[in-house]
Structure 1
């Protein structure tokens, strides 16, 4: 009888706890999956909902309740011109898989539908699509050194939280109002279920303990998307990932205007070793007339992060990063995660082997698009993921190669 009563009590506690979690998931699904005016079933299994542009997720944010949507930037980043020879050429990606099955009508935006299983994979519904807190101590050092110093020489003091490993090229300054690159697209092998691997651009401002960031590129993230496809993504935070921000449209913030690209949808084709290389051009820039940060992907205007979301980034960024990131509970540990970065090959393997950023450009208050004057390479774990800024000849366009296999004989 005692065992039976104990069993009944435990079942009761379980049902209450499960019921609360299920209720939270239902509330999250209702907030994320807005009513669709049209639904498109992609051949890769995704469901794309075309929702009213004026009823999108961004306007659930308290600061954007009376926000008037800006349909296009009042200025352009500018024409990207390469005056130097290239090390090789990559084909630009101009569409996504889902668009083969249909198009969203004018006045709507395409949004990848979130499933109950997607949210269940998160540690909690409130953490779904969010990064863990982070620090960038070099932001403080940049202020002390008036914007420019050699990060590579200060590697031991860079101040990383021990769950992310980056291999990046960094430009520091006071007044970046835009950044751009052609990001080589791969599908990194062996990305573990609890990890993610990205190739992206970051624009950062503020102090290390409370920085603001806007980010974009591609990612393989099984915990959010439930598979190992390469997907387009954005991210933002105004408090070093502590309480604000999220990936794509999984919280209120980013205002999408594009009908052609869906954040979180798969990107194809991807590059393969010693064969065709593919890239996607990503640009982020500040509209000086509105204070909004605009994002374009593959020459398609995606939308913007409203300036009202930020404090430091209302004016400019103080740092730009190009490169890759691996999140895992097993970085800086033994055994190390086997999740790879980029192509999974070392940066020294170069063209058609290693992943890269090229046509790397910034814009500052001079309003000139330029190759950054001061750059530093940095890798958190040199034996796991590597970097190499390389020119084939003196006149060639620089390529920033990065990535690696994760766990290997040097990174046990």
Structure 2
């Protein structure tokens, strides 16, 4: 009997040690704010870092309600003064993915989105949403995202800033949903996630950063965890700011992103994987209409807004249409205006053999 007790204690101590080791694994490195990857581009030689939104920009977002969780993590600064956290990726993952219309037949990519009608010519200055966070099951060569695209086309050249949460085991070390960004510019046409390339995104916040995990996950039909994300162009500095609530996380500098406004804004879900293989679940893994109209616990985005004439306003439902490329695997439901939620859409699906 004593030997069994000793064995139990030994197993418990080993398990505790392993758990503590995993929990304490550092997923970021602290780098000098002026030596982060953004400043390795020659166009950034004389760039002055923007540490906070301009007064004009702050005014446009200051009236937004505090309706979402901030990142669940320790509130203290992660890095010493003068340094910022940069996520340590699993691999140096880059690709040419720009937008759904261009890549849908190239890499088993599928999406359930709302998008402006094709003949629409309005120019926007950014967009925002409150996301609820889920953890769809994905395999190593798959990803599943809740995503916003800000695209600008000039002749045959596309610039794009994309953001939201993603479960992406090929990019990260595990299957936790994480704040994720992707960008491509007229001066950097290869495209890049987060801060994996020279130039592009500048990190300024000492706690929140692209690649950071959301630890609170929504449960279908029960507790919901949400996060607010916004990207908009500061009219004073011309930089494109990434924010959560009123907090500046970082930005894409005007030296790299010279676009003045965007001509396409997409909201919705996005999955990908190996060509010919099954596709992963999207969102909560359920079709939004199966959950029901009154139940808001499917994967959703709410408080959908864009910047118009330097104001942050609800999107106009008359300007957007639903688009799903594989209805047997995914769906999107644009539910328009709802009390206390503003403009809202739900999306998702189980995935499977979705075609190309």
* TM tier, smaller: 0.7 to 0.9
Task: Summarize the Cα distance change of 1:322–1:392 in structure 2 as closer, same or farther, 3 Å threshold.
Answer: closer
Contact kept? 2:271, 2:282, Cα under 8 Å: yes
How far off its partner does 1:386 sit?
A: 0.6
Contact 2:113 2:266 in 1 (8 A): yes
**Cα pair distance change 1:215/1:42, threshold 3 Å:** farther
Total equivalences in the alignment: 324
Tell me the CA shift for residue 42 of structure 1: 7.6
Q: Go from structure 1 to structure 2 and tell me whether the alpha carbon gap of 1:340 and 1:207 turns closer, same or farther (over 3 Å shift).
A: farther
Is the 8 Å Cα contact of residues 362 and 372 (structure 1) preserved in structure 2? Answer: no
Aligned position for 1:166: 111
Cα offset for 1:392?
Answer: 8.4
Aligned-residue offset at 1:279: 1.0
Query: Which is worse superposed, 321-330 or 355-364?
Result: 321-330
Q: Which moved more, 1:229-238 or 1:393-402?
A: 393-402
> d(CA) in 2 for partners of 1:346 and 1:234?
25
Structure 1 residue 91: Cα displacement: 6.8
- Considering fraction of residues, name the structure with more helix: 1
Cα drift, residue 107 of structure 1 = 2.2
Output the CA distance in 2 between the equivalents of 1:224 and 1:396: 32
Q: Could you tell me which residue of structure 2 aligns to residue 78 of structure 1? A: 61
Determine if contact 1:255/1:305 at 8 Å carries over to the other structure. yes
5+ residue gaps, structure 2, are 1-20
Establish whether residue 302 from structure 1 lines up as the match of residue 249 from structure 2.
yes
When normalised by structure 1's length, the TM-score is 0.71
Residue by residue over 1:101-132, the C-alpha shift from the partner in whole angstroms, topping out at 9 and shown as x without a partner, is: 87323322112234xxx22xxxxxxxx32233
Q: Is the 8 A contact 1:291 1:307 kept in 2?
A: yes
Aligned residues: CA RMSD: 2.9
Equivalent position to 1:380, from 297, 300, 325? 325
Matches within 5 A, 1:126-145: 128-134=92-98
- Tell me, in whole angstroms, the C-alpha distance in 2 between the residues paired with 1:338 and 1:366: 39
Contact 1:345 1:353 in 2 (8 A): no
Would you say the 8 A contact 1:202–1:215 is kept in 2?
yes
SS, match of residue 245 in structure 1: strand
Structure 2 matches for 1:6-405, cutoff 5 A? 43=23, 45-74=25-54, 75-76=57-58, 77-81=60-64, 92-97=68-73, 99=74, 103-114=78-89, 118-119=90-91, 128-134=92-98, 160-163=104-107, 164-171=109-116, 173-189=121-137, 191-206=138-153, 209-238=156-185, 243-252=189-198, 253-311=200-258, 313=259, 315-330=260-275, 333=276, 336-348=277-289, 349-350=291-292, 351-365=295-309, 367-373=311-317, 374-390=319-335, 397-405=342-350
SS at match of 2:34: helix
Question: Are the equivalent residues in 2 in contact too, given 1:93–1:269 (CA < 8 A)?
Answer: no
Specify the SS of the correspondent of 2:347: strand
1:125-170 C-alpha deviation (Å, 9 max, x unpaired): xxx3223345665xxxxxxxxxxxxxxxxxxxx8833322111112
Distance across 1 between alignment mates of 2:214 and 2:201: 20
Q: Of Structure 1 and Structure 2, which has the larger fraction of its residues in strand?
A: 2
CA distance in 1, matches of 2:156, 2:31: 37
Q: 1:101 and 1:288 mapped to 2: Cα distance?
A: 31
Post-superposition shift, 1:64? 0.8
Alpha-carbon separation, structure 2, partners of 1:288 and 1:72: 13
Deviates more, 1:348-357 or 1:285-294: 348-357
Contact 2:148 2:164 (8 Å CA) reproduced: yes
Which position in structure 2 is the counterpart of 1:122?
none
Give the Cα–Cα distance (whole angstroms) in 2 for the partners of residues 42 and 53 of structure 1: 27
With normalisation by structure 2, the TM-score equals 0.81
